[in-house]
Amino acid sequence: MGYAITEAALAAGHDVTLISGPVNLDPPRDAQFVSILTSDEMYKAVHRYARACDVLVMCAAVADYKSAKVSATKIKKRNATLSLELVPSRDILASLPKRDRHCLVVGFAAETNDLEKNAQKKLRAKNCDIIVANDVSGADSGMESDANEVTIFFRNGEREKILRASKKIIARKLVKIFSNSREKRLTKKMW
């Protein structure tokens, strides 16, 4: 979805910085591309580039958890069970400044249940201006699919639904919504 939004934003004439981990997609040629490998690298890159953006779109968490210990060498197979201790990774979206933000902050909520309740909770807890929520419980929509269906929740209580379509079509609609929200925000601040 992040790559589709990048392409739609570029097509609409916006400058785009795409921060991405390893994926099987080629980065759009006209975007400034920042390649990362770890959640810590993502954290640093987002904080570095967020200061200069008008709209920050956070499509997905890198991972909610990471291994507590990293082995410098391969862990050899044994005939015994192996347990990994997982610790929460840094929540990049929640780590963004709460006040004096100059950019519109858009988060995504991939949910398997209670979509509206969980999306509204995330909107408030992460101090987002917009949350784009999608149900990822089925194999035909969301992750690992070219199609999606989303509900957009706004901080002012409004919501908008985009019915099932290709991610490219949804991305174009989202870019328009983000641009309009940014313009409304700027107009509001002027008065």
Q: Residue 131: which of 174, 172, 96 has the closest Cα?
A: 174
Examine residue 83 and state whether it is found in any structural domain, yes or no. Answer: no
pTM metric for this prediction: 0.87
Examine residue 85 and state whether it is found in any structural domain, yes or no. Answer: no
Could you list the residue range(s) of the whole structural domain that residue 111 is in? 2-61+92-190
Contact 89, 39 (CB under 8 A): yes
Instruction: Over range 23-50, report the average pLDDT.
Output: 92
CATH number for the domain harbouring residue 156: 3.40.50.10300
Q: What percentage of the chain has pLDDT greater than the value 90?
A: 62
Mean pLDDT for the chain overall: 89
| pLDDT at residue 148, as a whole number | 86
Contact 131, 119 (CB under 8 A): yes
Examine residue 68 and state whether it is found in any structural domain, yes or no. Answer: no
Phi-psi region at 55: left, alpha or beta (left = phi > 0; alpha = psi -120 to 50): beta
Q: What is the pLDDT of residues 92-136, one digit of tens each?
A: 999 998 877 889 999 999 888 999 999 999 999 999 999 999 988
What is the number of domains present in the chain?
Answer: 1
CA distance 178 to 14: 12
pLDDT at 154 over 70: yes
Residue 80: how many CB atoms within 10 A of its CB?
5
Examine residue 74 and state whether it is found in any structural domain, yes or no. Answer: no
Residue 169: how many CB atoms within 10 A of its CB?
16
Examine residue 87 and state whether it is found in any structural domain, yes or no. Answer: no
Could you tell me the two tokens for 130? 């917009």
Q: What is the pLDDT of residues 155-174, one digit of tens each?
A: 999 999 999 999 999 999 99
pLDDT at 188 over 70: no
